[in-house]
Amino acid sequence: MSFYVTTPIYYVNAEPHLGHAYTSIAADILARHHRQRGEDVFFLTGTDEHGEPVADAALQAGVTPRELGDRYAPRFRDLLASLNATNDFFIRTTDPEHEAAVQEILQRVHDNGYVHKGIYEGWYCTRCADFKTESEIGPDNTCLIHFIPLIREKEENWFFELSRFQEPLERLYAERDDFVLPRTRANEAQSFIAQGLQDVSLTRQSLKWGVPVPWDESQVFYVWFDALLNYVTALTYAREGEDLTNTFWPASFQLIGKDILKFHCVYWPALLLAAGYELPEHLFVHGFLLMDDKKMSKSLGNVLDPFGVIDRFGADALRFYCFREVPFGQDGSISPAGFETRYETELANDFGNLASRTLAMLDRYRDGTVPQADPDPALATDFDSLAARVTELLDRAELTAALEEIWERVRRLNRYVEERAPWQLAKDPGAAGELDQTLYSLAEGLRVLTLLLHPYMPEATGKLLAALGQTELELAAAEFGARPGGAATTALEPLFPKR
Ligand code: MSP
């Protein structure tokens, strides 16, 4: 079984912010989960370095676009490392291998008869690098995403014949109701298609910063076609001397934000069909993280610095918070105050205390060895099919719903401690068997939760698993009662210390 997950590639026009960290964390959670299932996983992310978004920012900064890329691409890499992201490759669209592959693939699209020359005239957003259609134009010809004036463009371009994919795309959405998730986003894509697809510029004449068009050196490829193709070009050179295309294409999950839905849910499948590739299994469209009810973005100046949050609270806490606070797929507000509250009540108290208490009781009452006992049937029912349920949700990239399933059991284990009051049982020599069962069940419950939480919080769960005397990370082991007693446990510093 193979599993291929991608993030959008990030523009190298400014420092990364939490909105960028968000998609990378989501992809990492899925990648780690599928590794736990024993699958052959490939996780791709990287940077988008061509087009106006980068050329304009470079001009403003007084450097060349390449210099700007060289400045910011390492910052995106740093962010991935700070997040504990396990990406298998980091693509830069200025990689010569990518550029050559883009030329080759788009030449094929041309040779397959999907390209013609024409005049483009219309409204363009230089920040989105987007030719806007009627319904995407705001009051006074402004961009609905960036609130900046659109530019009137008129130039001779080569066009990609998107209109010829009207019927195939309609069929695609009718036949595959999980091609785009959540379902509401598929509806958005379908209504865009229903308005009637128009051919779209494949190349640019006025812009110089891009991949040259092999059949017309006076033009460069429009940045979105160059960028989208990263998902397939990376596979051809990510591992030296190997072409991974057959192993990993079609992608299993491509994660994107809702602002780039049109490119991924309309242009991308059409482009793949025109070039003769299979279509990805799923595109998942997530919402925006908002601050003060506005989209977090550099241009609006309301960004939360992920490096600062990680320094103070750790990567695990950030990874947890993003998917706990805002249902994945929807928009939602985040705030430093909300972050601190969740950190204290859920991470430090609900989970951290549960772990420390359980290990301390194992140490105090059973000399740091998980007792041999039968799992408590009262808990067994509550853990029944948990791993299967989490798996089912993650198969649809429902990261928040899966986390909630797990967290319900965190709360259940806390109640169990209170119900059984092991400290009382320990006072009664006649209750030794009951205490064994309680401690065994707590250790087992905690072990299962640790395995399931691992993709979300790799650091803390790694420590906890070791303290529980366990080494096995496989998801198959995440069944309550699957491990016998006997493991040697050790005490643990608080996993989420007070800040
Ligand atoms: N370069 C293009 C993508 C090309 S993919 C072939 C691009 N880059 S971006 O840097 O502007 O945005 C990358 C991703 O970050 C998008 O999916 C976008 O939705 C996401 N986010 C940027 N700000 C965000 C929030 N405030 N919240 C959540 N995600 C956001 O678009």
CA of 396 to the centre of ligand 1 (A): 21
321 class by beta-carbon count within 10 Å (0-12 exposed, 13-18 middle, 19+ buried) = buried
Q: Is 255 in the pocket of ligand 1 (CB under 6 A)?
A: no
State mean pLDDT over 130-141. 89
Q: Are 356 and 492 in contact (CB under 8 A)?
A: yes
Q: Is the pLDDT of residue 247 over 70?
A: yes
Cα 54 from Cα 48, distance rounded (Å):
8
Query: How much is the pLDDT for 499?
Result: 78
Q: Pick the closest to residue 248 from 93, 42, 60, 30 (CA basis).
A: 42
408 class by beta-carbon count within 10 Å (0-12 exposed, 13-18 middle, 19+ buried) = exposed
Stated as kind and residue range, the H or E segment containing 192 is helix 183-194
Query: How much is the pLDDT for 299?
Result: 66
Q: Are 439 and 362 in contact (CB under 8 A)?
A: yes
Continuous H helices in 268-425 = 268-275, 306-313, 315-325, 336-342, 354-366, 377-383, 386-394, 399-420, 422-425
Query: How much is the pLDDT for 99?
Result: 98
Percent of the chain with pLDDT over 90: 89
Confidence of residue 295 (pLDDT cuts 50, 70, 90): confident
Query: What average pLDDT does the chain have?
Result: 96
Q: Are strands 282-286 and 253-257 parallel, antiparallel or unpaired?
A: parallel
Percent of the chain with pLDDT over 70: 99
Identity of the amino acid at 485: G
Q: Pick the closest to residue 27 from 352, 297, 323, 365 (CA basis).
A: 323
Bridge partners, 143 (sequence order): 137
pTM: 0.96
Active site (annotated) includes residue 128: yes
The backbone torsions φ and ψ at residue 219, rounded to the nearest 5 degrees and listed phi first, read -125, 155
Cα 355 from Cα 358, distance rounded (Å):
5
Residue-wise pLDDT for 193-215, tens only, equals 999 999 999 999 988 999 999 99
Nearest CA to ligand 1 atom 15: 20
Q: Is the pLDDT of residue 283 over 70?
A: yes
Catalytic member of 33, 50, 98, 125? 125
Q: Is 11 in the pocket of ligand 1 (CB under 6 A)?
A: yes
Lookup: tokens for 62: 């007084």
Q: Is the pLDDT of residue 398 over 70?
A: yes
Active site (annotated) includes residue 322: no
Of 10-19, 206-215, 258-267, 297-306, the one with minimum mean pLDDT is: 297-306
Bridge partners, 90 (sequence order): 45
Can you state the angle between helices 386-394 and 399-420, rounded to 10 degrees? 160
3-state SS class at 42:
strand
Q: Pick the closest to residue 360 from 441, 467, 445 (CA basis).
A: 467
Query: How much is the pLDDT for 302?
Result: 72
State mean pLDDT over 102-126. 95
Confidence of residue 303 (pLDDT cuts 50, 70, 90): confident
Active site (annotated) includes residue 17: yes
Q: Is the pLDDT of residue 300 over 70?
A: no
Confidence of residue 27 (pLDDT cuts 50, 70, 90): very high
Q: Are 79 and 24 in contact (CB under 8 A)?
A: yes
State mean pLDDT over 336-359. 96
Continuous H helices in 292-347 = 306-313, 315-325, 336-342
Residue 213 CA, distance from chain mean position: 32
Active site (annotated) includes residue 125: yes
State mean pLDDT over 455-464. 98
